Structure formats: C-alpha cells, structure tokens
Structure 1
Amino acid sequence: MTFAELKLHPDLLAALPWHTPTRIQQLAIPVALAGQDVLALARTGSGKTLAFGLPLVQGVQVQGIQPAPAPVQALILVPTRELATQTSTVLQPLARAMNIGIVTLCGGVEQEQQLAELATGPQLLVATPGRLLDLLEQQLISLDAVSQLVLDEADRLLEMGFWPDIQRILARLPEQRQTQLFSATLPAELEDIATRLLIDPRRIEAHAGNSLVDEVEQRCYLVNKGSKAQALIALLRQGAWSQVLVFINARDSADALAKKLNKAGIDAAALHGDKEQQVRAQTLTEFKTGRLRVLVATDLLARGIDVAALPVIINLDLPASAPVYVHRVGRTARAGREGLAISLVCHAEAEALTAIRTLTGAGLPLQALDGFPVTDQPASGERKRPPRDKQANRRSASKRSIKQFKSPR
C-alpha cells in the first residue's frame, strides 16, 4: 500500500519524505479521514505522529486571507516540551504544503514570543497542558472553533499529574469535535477514562499491547548496585556505538553520572527537568546532530526524543513503572531500523524486572557482564531481627513504672 491509496491531498503526498505508510498509518488514517473518533495503540517508533497528523492537517479548512487572525481549528496535546517540539517539526512541512499555520505552546518560552506567534492566526496548535491552560485562563487564546483534538502519549496525559489540567482544557472545547487518542501503552485503569472522552470510537491496535518492535535486541546484565557506573563506562568503551542514550531515575544522579563519564574521557551531558529550557534545547540539538555521543536523561525524554538511527539505549536504572520501560526502549529501533537496549540490573530491582517481563511478554534473562562479578546478595525476604516480643516489652515497662512508685528503704 502507498500513501496515495489513502485518499490524501496531492499537496500532502508531495510533502511526504516516503511513499509507504506504516501499519498504524494504514489503519488509522482512513478512520480519521472519515471523521470518526480513534483510540490507537501502537509501538513507539511506528509512525504515530503522521498517523494522526496527516488527517488532522487535511481536515483543517483554509479560508484564505482574513481581516482578523484565523481561529484555531485543531489541537494536539502532548506531555512534554521535547515531544511538542518534535511533533511540530514533523508536521511543519505538511502544514506549510497546505498553507496552514502551526504554533507550538510550551513552558520555558517567553509568553510574549508565543503571543506574537498566535497573532499570526495559526489553525493548528501543538501544546503542553500547563502553558495552554495558562493562556486560556488569561483569556489570551480561544478554542471555541476547535473541531479536531489529539491526545498523544495519552496514557501520560490521563494520569493524575496531568488529568486535572486536561479536564479544564476539555471544558473549554466544543462538545462537537473529533477526538483521537494515541499511545504506545494504556494501563487497564486508564481505559475507562480514555473511552469516556470518545464518541463511538474505533479502537486500533497495530501491534500486541505494550510490545516492542522486533528490530530491537534487549539485554539485561546483573551487576552490583555500586558497580553500575563503572559497568556503564566499560560498556561505552567496548561498544563502537556512535551515540548512546542513557536513562537514569534521579535528576541529581544524572548530573553526577555525566561528570563521571566526562572524567573517564567519554563525551557526555545530562538532560532533565531542572535544566533551563535553553540548555535543554541546546543539549538535545547537539545530541540529535551527533556532536554529543552520550546523553544521560531522566524519563523526561522517554516520550519526547526522536534521533535518527539511534543505535543504543542503556537503562542504568530500571524504571519503577513497567510502561516507562517500553517508552525508553522505543527510542531505538525506530522506523524499521535495528537497535539495542541494555539494562543494568541489581538484585534490588528484581520486582521491577518481573513487572517489565509481565507487561512486555519478553523473557529478559539476566546475563553476567565480563569483569563485573556479582557479590551482592539478593534480599531473602526474611526479617534481619527476630520479631520483638511486644507483650514482654509491656511487662518490662510495667515493672519499671511500679518501681517508680515504690518508696526507698
């Protein structure tokens, strides 16, 4: 099948960099073009942005030159600044081909700059919830004419951290609209919320739920907790990888690890939510363009980075949430390319590893890493001390209290 068979506008077809749609694009585009609500689950790196972006852009009505700014007709909500920027980058050539204005709204950018962009009358917005809600509450923007809504990485947007803001945004949208929800994972507890946002939706599953692409090789090495940094350095020295994305759980640990890597002669930088937006953008640009070999990141980037042909990701820490593992690993082996995902696992992460195995259906056997013998012992689950005899403690306390009232002889 080709994009030409999906009844897309000729100008869109001319702007596409390739001619063959991925599976999620083949399944979702016809449904979205028909105006139906969509709940789509597809692996990371499978082409979700074009799957919702192409029909979204085609559905915008271009009304020619207007005396006043054109109203916003389509809205894409995403959880992070990086994903907002990435989505806009992918859709910008398509919007330009259709003479459609597109503006990105996210935190870390001066409000005056974004207001100037909004004054040009964009028909399509890509936004993070916080910044969009801020502009709405200041009455600096209107969503009254929105007829198309997309929630990308919907599982994250429906979690408690974002859900209150999403509800307030939804209250300002017309009830008559087309809504599309896209995600690589959707926990069962969020299914009900997702379906309540949609009207007679078509559920599309391009692949088995929470699965990873076949092109990614997954390895898990058992190492001591205190040896992880040195094990990472050894892997980076041994592997002839042009670029590596390293995931770590704590922000302060990301900075410390990047310093250790630089001290070991490995070009590395850290990226997390405490960094200023300008620093984040510059660091990400350096990594995407290949000027930076190793990027140490928190889960801020598990859903917001698309580096062409990224060969390797390494989990220095396993994430506490199994779906996050799917998003992390999805940064490699994108668009049909091969990739490698390595996880350094200590005994304390056994429960997290079990959850990941259960979610993904992958065996993920633990392997030994040459030069790093494991001396740590797994937790036995038994108490280190015998349980205290609370009754005996009460008797002792009682004796002491009686002695306090006895008169000295």
Structure 2
Amino acid sequence: MAGAKLRFGAFIAPFHPIDENPTLALHRDMELVEWLDKLGYEEAWIGEHHSGAYELIASPELFIAAAAERTKHIKLGTGVSSLPYHHPLMLADRINQLDHMTRGRVMFGVGPGALVSDAFMMGIPASKQRDRMDEALDVLVQLLNGETVTYKCEWFELAEARLQMTPYSRPSVEIAVASQVSPTGARAAGKHGASLLSLGATSTAAFNALASNWAIAEEQAKTYGKTMDRSGWRLVGPMHIAETKEQAYKDVRYGLEKWAYYFSEIANLPVIPAGDGDPIDRMVESGMAVIGTPDDAAARIEQLMEQSGGFGAFLFMAHNWADFAATKKSYELFARHVAPRFQGLNENRVASIDWVKRNKAEFTGQMQAAVGARIVQHMVEKGTDNIRPELVEMITGQAPKAE
C-alpha cells in the first residue's frame, strides 16, 4: 500500500523586475497558477506587499478569487496576509467568504509583514509588528472558529464580533503561520496548533533551524493543550530544473541578477553567498537553491526530509529566474519526474511490471500453447493450405510437404 503523499506547490510572492509591464506580469502569475493546476500541483500561496516594486500583489484575496474561477483542484492560500495591516474582523470575514466561494480550497497563511517599508507607510513601528501579529492571530482563530469575541488593544477593538456565516471548512479554514530563522512563527503556530510555513527553508540558517523550529512548535503546542501535525508543515525554497545542469544554468542567467538585486538592495536580505566565481555555483554549493536536473531536485527533497524529520509539502519559491517558457518547463519536469518519487504514484506500476517479468516464462508458455491449440484446430478442419509454413513447423516439428 502506498505511504503518505508529499504535496507540492508554489509560493508566489511574486518577484517581477521593474523593466517589464506590471499588468502582463500579474496575468503571467495567474497563468502560472493555472499551469500548476493542470500539472497536478496541490497548492499555490499568494503574497501581500505594498512597496518595493517587485512584489506586485497587494491583495492575495482578490487574486485567489480570480484564480479559483480558472482552476479546478489546486488549493489557494494567502502567502501571507500581514496581520498588523488589517482589522481582524474584516480579514476574517474576507477569508471566510473565500472559503465558501472556493468550496474549501482556500488556506490562510499569516505573518507580521516582511517589508518594513510597508509598515512604515501605515505608521506601524517595526518593533511592534510581531506583537500585533500575535494579538490579531489570537482573535482571528476564535472568529474563524465561529466564536463571538470582545477584545480591545491599542490598535483594534472588537465588541461582540462574530462572522455572519458558519465556516465552510470545519472546524475552520486551515491557518498556517510563516516562520524563518527566529522562533516567532513556530511559537505562534504551536500556541494555536496551526500549520507551519517555513520560508527560505533551503538557506543555510533556515535549513539548520528546521528541526529545532519544529521542536519549539511542538513544545509550545503541548503548553497550550494543542497538537502539531507534520502534514501541515510546508517548506519553501527556490529551484529551477532542466534536462541537463548546463541548460538549467543557462536558463537562470535570464533573471537571476535582477532577483538578487532586489533582495540585496531593496529588501536588505542578501541571498547569494559572498565569494569569487560564478554566483550560480555559490548558490548551488551552499545549498541555498537547486539549479540542475530532476535528480538534483529529488536529492534535495530527500535531504530536507531527513533534516526536518518529516513534513507535508514542499513549495517552490517562485522567482522568475528563467523566462516564462523555461519556468513552465521546470515545473513540468518536476511534476513528471520528481513528484512521483515522493507520492507513491508508480509503486503499483513497479510491482506490476516486476510480477510480469518474474512470471514471463510461464506466461510465454501459456500464450504459445493457446496459439498452438488454435492452429491445430484449424489444421484439422481446413488443412495447411493457408497456414504460414513456420507455424506448421512450430506445431508439428516438420516442414509442410510441397504440393
């Protein structure tokens, strides 16, 4: 019997350089989600950002509503909703509405907000973003569970607040808390028994923190009488694959430099390890990214499974390193040649072909006997005039006599 099925998807911030048409970029993001749905990917997470120019999606809820109408199976998550930017009742009501509109295909990813520039424009001190996330999450969980909440703090107030509609998903929509190297997200996930969304899981620091962050979440969950489910743990990391490593390297030179510029100069988070030589080599050798073949991608997934102790889904960090055709090809190669290894899709096929090979001699003998019996029957009834000579010889052991 097949084992647990690892899920795959994409975490779409997205990242679009400022030298291209933003309208077309947004439509390309939508096309990517449609492509993922056709390929059988299970999840797509859509980001929320308001400054910095690269990460264009301001409302993941709007994007998800449109994507849900264009897809059939894939689940769609906010990746993530920045809780300090929203009144909790308004956000809960929008997510609950999406839960109904998508018939349970929406997921609710939450975080404090990644860009300080976003918070600055709203007058939110960076030092308070994580505290405000915790405050908002406490009441969001209650609201999405159908409870009535009265609460007051320095930045929002709820007076007998409740959602009008019972959640479509029971007990509520799935909530996932973003986590990087610090324990903030793991602690919040554990407190509420929520899923954990580990961003940048393939960077050296985040990779080394995987097991410890999960342990923190489990410890916190125990304190609050909750349990953590590894199937809800998502790891996020960048990959680009092609038929050969050389082709993969060639593909990513299209947009890697612009992507790295955004992180180092705008988001203030250098992503390419310092050093000499090819920056692609440095990324690959550090383990920060997979740029290579399907076998390279599979090896990295196996490494992550071992390091983490087990998780439920791996999400590509959508990066636009390659042009769109090569990007789509990368996702296709992964779906065809990597995902089946971790989803047990070919276990029965392997068992079937092995069984046939083991019994080949017996099956061949039965086939020859069945065919031979029909030839003999025909020879008895009609003679050998219209029987191929080699078939007569196979049955009688003698060549047919010439007339």
Higher relative helix content: 2
TM-score (norm. length: structure 1): 0.29
TM-score (norm. length: structure 2): 0.29
Larger radius of gyration: 2
